Amino acid sequence: MPLIAVATLGGTISMAPVPGTGAVPRLGAAELIGALGDLPMDVLAESLAGIGSASLDFATLLRCRDWGLRQEADGFVVVQGTDTLEETAYFLDLCWPSEIPVVVTGAMRHAGLLSPDGPANLRGALTVAAAPRSRGRGALVTLNDDVHAARWVRKGHSNHLDAFTSAPAGPLGMVVEHAVHWFHPSPPRPSVLTGEDFGGLVPVVEAGLDDSGAVLAHVATQPGVRGIVLAATGVGHVSSGTADVVSRLVGSLPVVVASRTGAGPTLRSTYGFHGSESSLIAMGATMAGWLDARKSRILLHALLASGADREGIEREFRLRGDLD
């Protein structure tokens, strides 16, 4: 039987209610795996953390990745909260150096609620991790029987059971009767980013109505800021005032422009006004393409950790953010 390594980090899937407090992390790896009964694979599970996913950091994710690599298993499952699950998945997609599948899962309903989804999601993730055709696909996300690619998946609803979407690409596959049914072939994976220095800050600043650029200018001056992701309106547009700030920043900081809409890419050459995508590119900003602001932040962090220069950042965002 295949050997699947499972690292649990906490989150709703590990939570149970405490009277007068609410749900808190109480279930470790042994309890989560034990609740599944007999399995058609061997499982090596360990609790690496027991926190809400909003408190996860790069140090914990690096430790989790390294633990998974040391097990030399046939597949690796990471169990955590759903609040930052899409970011963890994309981090692993960028930094997982193995062909062995890594699958991230969690739950929308904790163990104290009716019909908790954690056991089914974990069982589905184990199925995906053990499937031979999962190899070479990078990081995957399995929830509610859907299998998503880390590049596309995002949490699209705060508490709905069917909270995760991969619009517009759609899920890669589905788990049916404890087997994976793939809808799409595996595309070639870009090179793995190997940097370890995730220190410093890469803040996300959102543009909006009556935006003078003052918030962006203030954030850029804070200690430790290594780059900025600008969640721009529409297809990558900002106000004239914000554009003026961007023009001053790009000489000293990488500025990546993503769309704040949550769906659709930034453009490159349709509009030409001051603050349009064309003008921001001419200033030296990098367009995120199809990557949203959250994924762009993870990619920029990983590139800076790997020592990428400005040309390298531009090249990698074109490679990973565009479809051609």
Which sequence positions are flagged as catalytic? Answer: 12
Distance CA 215, CA 222 (A): 11
Q: 3-state secondary structure string, 145-193?
A: CEEEECCCCEECCCCCCCCEECCCCCCCEEEECCEEEECCCCCCCCCCC
Residue type at 234? G
Distance CA 198, CA 317 (A): 18
Distance CA 264, CA 292 (A): 9
Q: How long, in residues, is the chain?
A: 324
Distance CA 275, CA 111 (A): 48
DSSP symbol at 86: H
8 contacts: CB under 8 Å, gap ≥ 6: 14, 28, 29, 32, 45, 46, 47, 48, 49, 50, 79, 80
User: Taking a C-beta distance cutoff of 8 angstroms, is the pair 104, 85 a contact?
Assistant: yes
